[in-house]
Amino acid sequence: MHTAIRFLTEGWEVVGIDNMNNYYPVELKKERIRQINSASAESKTFFKFIEEDITSEIWNTIENDIDLVIHLAAQAGVRYSLENPYAYLHSNIFGFQKVIEFAEKRSLRLVYASSSSVYGKESKEPFSESESCNSPESYYAATKKANEMMAFAYNKTHSLESVGLRFFTVYGPWGRPDMAPFIFTKAAYEGSKVKVFNFGNQQRDFTYIDDIVEGIFKISVSNEPFGASVFNIGNGEPTKLGEFIELIEKLTKKKLNKEYVDAQLGDVQSTYCDTQKMQSITGYKPQIKIEDGLRSFIKWYESNMLRLK
């Protein structure tokens, strides 16, 4: 949603595709579409939304002149991949194949979402793109690593230019309800018990959505010849879970009802992003500190999610 709005405000025309599945509440997704339509009307720029699965034949019906493909659709979530690996095979492998075929046939640059999850427990911090990333901790991570390999292979065999962006724990307004900022904020306002995995002994490189979108935009419009490349895109300042919880409590002025439990299978203890490669190419540098980002997110939550309950 945020990426679509950024391109609309920059004067681009945007065609969006999403199957609006019920992995989390569809009403939130509908609200996002309304936000994009509003931005389109305000900027007087064309936006078309197609409700369709990316594994379908929808790609054969797109008649618009396309200059760039940004592929952010996927079945996300490390933990859900333990329960339903076929959902990841469907969206992240078969869906990705449809996208790269479309980009290759039209000779377009493909910018796609990889994930910091490709870095396993053996990766050295801060995580650098030079790591081999051959020991995924979850099936989700394996599908994202597979996307990178598919893109590299298509560059070798079809000269497809692609950029994979390894996102680090993205959060912000209109974000996913299965992510920690949403879960902990929701628990704060509802007074419900929230599980703290690994007894709080982990840290994440939380990256605010505006910083992510800035990176996506910069890499998308860059004139650099990328071949098939991957870039980290993150904050570069990991936050310990205990400090994160304290910030949520401070900003909501509510005490969380915490249940400390063992680490979840498939999770890594720490993520820490090295952004030097992205910075050297695009000048990208994250701007939003964790407290400022959470303050903006919580303000949005109060204005929107409490109303949508």
In the beta sheet, which residues pair with residue 232? Answer: 166
Token pair 């879960």: residue: 183
Residue 142's CB is within 10 A of a number of other CB atoms, namely 19
Token pair 């990766």: residue: 123
140 is catalytic: yes
Rg (CA), the chain: 19
Give the Cα separation of 26 and 13 in Å (integer).
25
Give the Cα separation of 213 and 130 in Å (integer).
23
Distances, alpha carbon 216 to alpha carbons 3, 69, 108, 128, 290, in Å: 8, 11, 16, 18, 20
* One-letter identity of residue 163: V
Token pair belonging to 296: 């903006």
**DSSP 8-class letter at 26:** H
Distances, alpha carbon 231 to alpha carbons 6, 192, 228, in Å: 20, 38, 10
Token pair belonging to 27: 């009403």
Neighbour-count burial of 145, counting CB atoms closer than 10 A to its CB (0-12 exposed, 13-18 middle, 19+ buried):
buried
Token pair belonging to 226: 């990328």
Catalytic choice (23, 119, 140, 272): 140
**Could you list the active site residues?**
140
